[in-house]
Amino acid sequence: RFGKKFNTEGSEIKTNPPIDDVHYYTEAIIKLYPVFRCGTQAKDCLNIIRVAINNILKNPDEEKFRKIKMTNPTVEEKLKKIPLGMKIVKVLGFEEEGEFEVLKKEKTDIDLLKKTSSYLEGEINKYNQ
């Protein structure tokens, strides 16, 4: 009724590379949880993700480092309460399994983890200046 009909043939849904999603969600966290209002909430969230990634990169074959226990009080307080932080975890390939977020070995994108770790390190360091 309003203009042309949408042509579904030949049109593809465009998806962003995962690292672009990580950048987008990280920037959103920083903007939505500013230091003057929320203290270090954004920094703490990003730091938990960075630590989890670095543990996987240092010990890629150990299963225990591929899990984030979501019922851990620190994780609940600093990561789980920020939905955009959980979106970053999902973009990295983690999947919910009971009380854990688990990154399966076959779904691990080491390059994405390295880029994300480096990017988060830079963003966290901005808080320390």
Cβ atoms of 93 and 107 within 8 Å: the answer is yes
Closest CA to 116 of 35, 38, 48, 42: 48
pTM for the full predicted model: 0.85
Helix axis angle, 18-32 to 41-58, nearest 10°: 150
User: 60: which DSSP letter?
Assistant: T
Instruction: List per-residue pLDDT tens for the chain, 129 residues long.
Output: 556 665 556 556 667 889 999 999 999 999 999 988 888 999 999 999 999 999 999 998 899 999 999 999 999 999 999 999 999 999 999 999 999 999 998 888 999 999 999 999 999 998 776
The structure tokens listed for 4 are: 């042309």
